[in-house]
Amino acid sequence: MNSPAQRTGAASEGRRAPVLATRALSKDYGPVRVLSGVSLEFHAGEIHALLGENGAGKSTLIKMLAGVTAPSEGEILVDGAARRLRSVRDGQSHGIVALPQELSLVPTLGAAENIFLGLRRPGSRLLVDRRALDRDATALLERLGQRIPLDVPAGELSAVQQTMIALARALARDARVLILDEPTAALTEREAEQLFAVLRTLREAGTAIVYVSHRLEEVFALADTATVLLGGRHVWTRPAAQTSADDAVAAMIGRPPGQIYPQRETGEPALQRAGGPAALEVRDLRGHTLAGVSLQVPPGRVLGIGGLAGSGRSELLALIAGAQRPRGGAVLLGGQDITARRLAGRMRAGIVLVPEERRSQGLVMTHSVQDNIALANLGRFSRLGIASRSRERAAALRRAESLRIRATSIRQPVEELSGGNQQKVVLAKYLERSPRVLLLDEPTRGIDVGTKAEIYQLVRRLAAEGVAVLVVSSEIPELLGVADEIAVLHEGRLAGLVPAATATEESVLHLCYRKSA
């Protein structure tokens, strides 16, 4: 492997001509400019990370590099010559291959078939020469140091094996520039390491790699060069060795980091809500995974819920909200047993669940911001069954303002918004219920740093108003940063309850695996 000094030297001095470059590249969608005058260079044998919040323009940029969409202004240069990339196929003919976030493999076909899909296969035009196909596929996989059984359908292979097939597919297309969009999103840590090793090999072989990821640690472990985009503009490009994750975060959000997690105010809960503040109590609650959990959350308290995937975290929230029927146990709100009530009844009582998957559970994607916010409030915004558009609009405008939802109007379909703004719409919809107990399931998954900080502040503000909040999160720093107390679940049972002030990432992790801290 090259030493960092050599690599960064090559990149910064720019002695070699870049394989791929952009010159004042811009992209407009309607009147909205999503990318503005970005000039970048991508060199052979270099891993170049693109960093930025959701909506910073990363996706738009790589789409244009791959030939998916055309620039509105500016140029793309391949080997120094301006090229118009009219399609993905066009991009590939110049050796530019993008691996989308969702790998587009055919799950029922084997590795070899997937690798050569859409290419002229070895053998005659009409008949498939299986042996030649398998031989060539094996050779490509070997270049990646992989052995993947060729007779197993891709859908049954592991996530990292599928990624490798997609990479082999890129090699089969003679990729000189490889564009990766969040390639580790579906991988475990160990699998990610495997992928990084392969990417380093490809870099040594002279491939230029454009790498998009939200995970800053891995970016800085891997990349030679980092570029930060903010609001469609180029902030800076630096050798990775001469910058840090903190610098990058500061540039991505346009202000210094450190203030992501809010200050905790302590004081009397001042809930001005129907029914006033109320404590949530859960007694011996049981479900499919949950095997008897008891908890109490007083008004104004934020309880973080940690645990491994499958420990029953999400089920606990679903059972409290009434989204799932319990196998036993009781849910009490302000001392009153509400176990018999279903989801709608518990919402009326003030218990509100913000579900984990915003696209499949939180939103009607084709409907507008206003309609989505109204959906959880239809009964409240109506008289004698007739919906009041003006009250819906007023509520949606108020929430869009206070949560700073970025949309062209509250009439815009939510499918056109960025992930962070979609999440804000889900929050708006449920906050409009003025909850006494707020259940948040992975409220910041897949959204940018800036929006995360806003959501944390919101949680603390609601707690200060006297709402009891339960937050499920896979990110332990998030639990430590936002919660007062952390309950850790292990195989459906409470493994421990620790104050956030004294807990550490390590001690919570130990509880997750149920080792004594």
Partner 1 sequence: MMSSTAPAQAPSTEATRSRATIPARLASYGTLLGLVALIILFSVLRPQVFLTPLNFTNILEQIAILAIVTAVQTVVMVVGDFDLSVGALASLVGVITAQLLVAGTDPAAAVAAGLLTGLLAGAVNGALVSYLNLSAFIATLATMTSFTGLALLLSNGSTVFGLPDSFVWLGQGRLGPVPVPVVIALALVLLIWFVLSKTVLGRAWYAVGGNAEAARLSGVNVRLVRFSAFLVSGTGAALAGIVLTARLASGHPTAADALMLSSIAAVFLGITLSRAGQPTIGGTAVGLGIMGVLSNGLNIMQVNSYVQQVLTGLIIVLAVSLSRLSRRRR
CA dihedral sign of residues 251, 252, 257, 262: positive
Provide, rounded to whole angstroms, the least separation between the CB of residue 369 and partner 1: 8
Provide, rounded to whole angstroms, the least separation between the CB of residue 73 and partner 1: 17
105 closest CA partner among 116, 94, 95: 116
Provide, rounded to whole angstroms, the least separation between the CB of residue 46 and partner 1: 35
DSSP state of 17: P
Write down how long the chain is.
Answer: 517
Candidate segments 198-206, 222-230, 379-387, 459-467, binder of partner 1 by CB under 8 A: 379-387
Is 325 near partner 1 (CB under 8 A)?
Answer: no
- Asked if 72 and 22 touch (Cβ cutoff 8 Å), the reply is no
Closest to partner 1 by CB, 174 or 401 = 401
Closest to partner 1 by CB, 197 or 378 = 378
Task: Figure out which of the listed residues 171, 198, 347, 480 binds partner 1, where binding follows CB under 8 A.
Answer: 347
- Asked if 439 and 321 touch (Cβ cutoff 8 Å), the reply is yes
Provide, rounded to whole angstroms, the least separation between the CB of residue 401 and partner 1: 6
Which residues partner with 291 through β-bridges?
286
Q: How far, in Å, CA of 243 to CA of 178, rounded?
A: 24
Task: Figure out which of the listed residues 71, 110, 277, 362 binds partner 1, where binding follows CB under 8 A.
Answer: 362
- Asked if 507 and 480 touch (Cβ cutoff 8 Å), the reply is no
Cβ neighbours of residue 319 closer than 8 Å, sequence gap 6 or more: 285, 287, 290, 326, 329, 331
Task: Figure out which of the listed residues 1, 13, 15, 32 binds partner 1, where binding follows CB under 8 A.
Answer: 32
Q: How far, in Å, CA of 150 to CA of 112, rounded?
A: 6
Provide, rounded to whole angstroms, the least separation between the CB of residue 386 and partner 1: 5
Candidate segments 304-312, 357-365, 464-472, 490-498, binder of partner 1 by CB under 8 A: 357-365
Q: How far, in Å, CA of 245 to CA of 129, rounded?
A: 49
Q: In Å, how far from its chain's centre is CA 88?
A: 25
- Asked if 299 and 479 touch (Cβ cutoff 8 Å), the reply is no
Is 369 near partner 1 (CB under 8 A)?
Answer: yes
Provide, rounded to whole angstroms, the least separation between the CB of residue 390 and partner 1: 10
Neighbours of 405 (CB within 10 A): 24
Task: Figure out which of the listed residues 186, 375, 464, 509 binds partner 1, where binding follows CB under 8 A.
Answer: 375
Task: Figure out which of the listed residues 13, 30, 267, 515 binds partner 1, where binding follows CB under 8 A.
Answer: 30
The two structure tokens encoding residue 108: 């029922």
Task: Figure out which of the listed residues 370, 418, 444, 451 binds partner 1, where binding follows CB under 8 A.
Answer: 370
| Size of residue set near partner 1 by CB under 8 A | 46
* CA geometry: angle 49, 55, 58, nearest 5 deg: 25
Is 343 near partner 1 (CB under 8 A)?
Answer: yes
Is 259 near partner 1 (CB under 8 A)?
Answer: no
Provide, rounded to whole angstroms, the least separation between the CB of residue 69 and partner 1: 11
Closest to partner 1 by CB, 30 or 335 = 30
Candidate segments 81-89, 103-111, 356-364, 482-490, binder of partner 1 by CB under 8 A: 356-364
Provide, rounded to whole angstroms, the least separation between the CB of residue 421 and partner 1: 10
214 closest CA partner among 425, 508, 419, 7: 419
Is 361 near partner 1 (CB under 8 A)?
Answer: yes
Site for partner 1 in 386-445 (CB under 8 A): 386-387, 393, 397, 400-401, 404-413, 429
The two structure tokens encoding residue 202: 């490809």
Cβ neighbours of residue 330 closer than 8 Å, sequence gap 6 or more: 282, 283, 284, 285, 337, 339
Q: Which amino acid is at 75?
A: E
Provide, rounded to whole angstroms, the least separation between the CB of residue 413 and partner 1: 7
Closest to partner 1 by CB, 32 or 309 = 32
Is 368 near partner 1 (CB under 8 A)?
Answer: yes
> From edge to edge, which strands make up the β-sheet containing 291-297?
291-297, 280-286, 328-333, 336-337
Task: Figure out which of the listed residues 385, 502, 515, 516 binds partner 1, where binding follows CB under 8 A.
Answer: 385
Closest to partner 1 by CB, 17 or 387 = 387
The two structure tokens encoding residue 435: 């909850």
Provide, rounded to whole angstroms, the least separation between the CB of residue 173 and partner 1: 24
Provide, rounded to whole angstroms, the least separation between the CB of residue 34 and partner 1: 12
- Asked if 107 and 155 touch (Cβ cutoff 8 Å), the reply is yes
Is 87 near partner 1 (CB under 8 A)?
Answer: no
- Asked if 416 and 327 touch (Cβ cutoff 8 Å), the reply is no
Q: How far, in Å, CA of 252 to CA of 51, rounded?
A: 7
Longest dimension (CA), the chain: 79
Candidate segments 5-13, 96-104, 325-333, 376-384, binder of partner 1 by CB under 8 A: 376-384
Q: Which residues bind partner 1 (CB under 8 A)?
A: 29-32, 323, 343-344, 347, 353, 355, 360-371, 374-376, 378-379, 382, 385-387, 393, 397, 400-401, 404-413, 429
